[in-house]
Each structure stands twice: as structure tokens, then as C-alpha cells.
């Protein structure tokens, strides 16, 4: 172990952290509806299916509601290939002219996503930057009136 690096026991003291998923929906003036799926913990082979199903349901629900979908990976460690989990969702969104904003993926995930060249994903350093980028593109389809509505 190098000096300044946390010991492996401190990184995962009791093994992988359990996967927790939560969706928050809100309406923002000038942006419309947003739906943020926040994941915490470790995505590995034991729960990758649950993560994929939650992401698919999140995207479908956001699509039906006309919301901007976001995926917050700030507190997630992906122990399986990230591109495999996100590729299908990204392609489907790109075909429909939509995108999934991904917030703060860890460096190995960010590199994998960049190498995969998935057109339906937009990676942002923070949730605030993701929301600003969405606002710059305009309101969601469910909020055609935009500001001042």
C-alpha cells in the first residue's frame, strides 16, 4: 500500500456496500420536470440486474411524465462493466432524441463511458452542472411553456 492511500479495510470495511436506489422528482422553472435516480453503494454481479431494472423503470417513468432523466452515480462503485449496464438505455434514448445525464461517475466509470462513445449519455461533474446544462437546452416536453408559465 502506498503512503496516503486508505487501507483496503477502510475502503470496503465489511465488503461491498449494499445498493440503495432512490428517485426524486421535482419541477424547476424554465426547465420543467426532472427525475433523479440516485444510487449509493456497490453495483456488482449480485445486484446488476436490479440496478438495470431500476434504471429502465426510471427512464420509462421519466419518458411518460415528460421529465428530464438524471442518474446520480456520485456515491456508487461499479464492480462490473458500467458501459454494459448503460449502453442499452443510452442507445434507446439517443434513438428517441433524448439523453441521460449522468452525474459524477468515478474515474474508472467515466473512462469506460467515454471509451464506449454512447451518444445517449451526457456526463457531468455535479448535479448542479447537469441541471444547468439541461436548463440551457430548454424545458422538458411536459413543460412547453417554459419560464413564466
Confidence band for 139, pLDDT divided at 50, 70 and 90 = low
Task: State percent of the chain over pLDDT 90.
Answer: 26
In contact, 101 and 124? CB cutoff 8 Å: yes
Model confidence pLDDT, tens digit, residues 77-86 = 877 655 667 7
Confidence band for 49, pLDDT divided at 50, 70 and 90 = confident
Task: Read off the pLDDT of each residue in 133-149 and give the average, rounded to a whole number.
Answer: 58
Global pTM reads 0.77
CA distance 102 to 110: 10
- Phi, psi of 134, rounded to the nearest 5 degrees: -65, -40
Task: Read off the pLDDT of each residue in 2-30 and give the average, rounded to a whole number.
Answer: 69
In contact, 42 and 76? CB cutoff 8 Å: yes
In sign, the C-alpha dihedral spanning 78, 80, 83, 84 is: negative
Task: State percent of the chain over pLDDT 70.
Answer: 78
Amino acid at each position: 500500500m502506498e503512503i496516503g492511500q486508505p487501507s483496503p479495510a477502510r475502503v470496503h470495511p465489511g465488503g461491498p456496500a449494499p445498493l440503495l436506489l432512490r428517485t426524486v422528482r421535482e419541477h424547476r422553472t424554465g426547465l420543467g420536470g426532472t427525475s433523479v435516480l440516485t444510487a449509493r453503494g456497490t453495483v456488482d454481479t449480485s445486484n446488476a440486474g436490479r440496478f438495470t431494472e431500476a434504471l429502465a423503470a426510471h427512464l420509462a417513468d421519466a419518458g411518460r411524465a415528460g421529465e428530464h432523466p438524471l442518474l446520480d452515480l456520485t456515491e456508487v462503485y461499479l464492480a462490473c462493466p458500467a458501459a454494459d449496464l448503460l449502453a442499452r438505455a443510452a442507445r434507446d434514448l439517443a434513438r428517441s432524441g433524448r439523453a441521460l445525464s449522468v452525474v459524477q461517475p468515478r474515474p474508472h466509470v467515466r473512462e469506460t463511458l467515454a471509451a464506449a462513445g454512447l451518444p445517449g449519455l451526457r456526463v457531468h461533474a455535479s448535479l448542479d452542472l447537469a441541471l444547468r446544462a439541461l436548463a440551457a437546452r430548454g424545458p422538458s416536453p411536459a413543460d412547453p411553456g417554459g419560464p413564466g408559465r
